[in-house]
Amino acid sequence: MRTAMHCSADAPDAQRRALANAANLLGDDTVPLSGLVVVFNGDGVHAVRADSPVADDVRGLLARTPEETNSPEAPTIEVCACSNSLAARDVAEDELVYGVDVVSSGMGELTRRQADGYGYIKVP
């Protein structure tokens, strides 16, 4: 099972809740998760800036290990930022948390993931 989470929230509290939802999903051993992607677009891209109030939460999500995810085969974990949203907000790629992937468009990435069988969850 693979899941795509989508966050466009601009408030750090909402962004933190979105990342906590992702962590909770990874920790739920009743869900046979093989892949998780969290896509940030709109004002949500501020969450993945290296200096954001939730940057450590993003780093923590990207650093999850098989033991922490309760899975003998750790699911792939990806965090993506929309290039259109970054450009519209004058955020350069080198300002992002290390490990965040920049995708051509957030909506395009979510569409591709759903076509590939990912379940979609809007968070928060």
pLDDT digits (tens, 9 = 90+) for 34-52: 999 999 999 999 999 999 9
Where are the chain's structural domains?
2-122
Q: Is 73 exposed, middle or buried (0-12, 13-18, 19+ CB in 10 A)?
A: exposed
- Domain 2-122 is classified in which CATH homologous superfamily? DsrEFH-like (3.40.1260.10)
CA atoms within 13 A on the CB side of 46: 15
pTM for the model: 0.94
Cβ–Cβ under 8 Å, residues 85 and 123 = no
Reported confidence tier of residue 29, pLDDT bands at 50, 70, 90: confident
Radius of gyration over every alpha carbon of the chain, rounded to an integer in angstroms: 13
Judge whether residue 68 has pLDDT over 80: no
Q: Which residue has the higher pLDDT, 79 or 75?
A: 79
